[in-house]
Structure 1
Amino acid sequence: MDRLLTVQQAAEALGTGVRFPRRLIEERRITFVKVGRHVRIPEGALESFITEHTVEPVAVTYRRAA
């Protein structure tokens, strides 16, 4: 079982304020767990979110005009 992160811990892992993970939860864009009235984000769900939204760089090659 994954470690459950608080919204604050998730925000720190993402390098954002708490509003961003709260918005992800509200829009149901990330998996979360309700523990009573508390909301927790599984560590694996956060890692998956980061992996899915990672954009790889594009290699650009320049040709010299003849």
Structure 2
Amino acid sequence: MRPPPAVADTLRNGIPDRYLTPEDLAVIFKVPLETVYAWRKTRTGPPGFRIGKHVRYDPAEVLAYVAGRKDADRAAA
């Protein structure tokens, strides 16, 4: 069995074509993994969901989160 591709190998428009892990978000946004966990705890980052004990993120919702942040920053400027 082939190992899964690295995040950088699966990027399309900056986001992989699969559900994302917290580690993926840390790589994509270039932040520490602890930051991703803090976002989840405070509900300030992209919305995630659980599959058993694992947290995953829908790429479409991550893109929507980024678009919303951009809009909020533009409105504040």
Q: TM-score, normalised by structure 2?
A: 0.61
Q: Which runs of 5+ in 1 are unaligned?
A: 59-66
Structure 2: runs of 5 or more not aligned: 1-16
**1:42 maps to which of 41, 45, 58:** 58
The alignment's C-alpha RMSD in Å is 1.8
CA distance in 1, matches of 2:67, 2:34: 20
* Count of paired positions: 56
Identify the structure with the greater helix proportion: 2
Larger radius of gyration: 1
1:17 match: 32
- Runs of 4+ in structure 1 off by over 3 angstroms are none
Cα distance in 1 between the residues matched to 2:68 and 2:34: 20
Please, which moves more after superposition, 7-16 or 44-53? 44-53
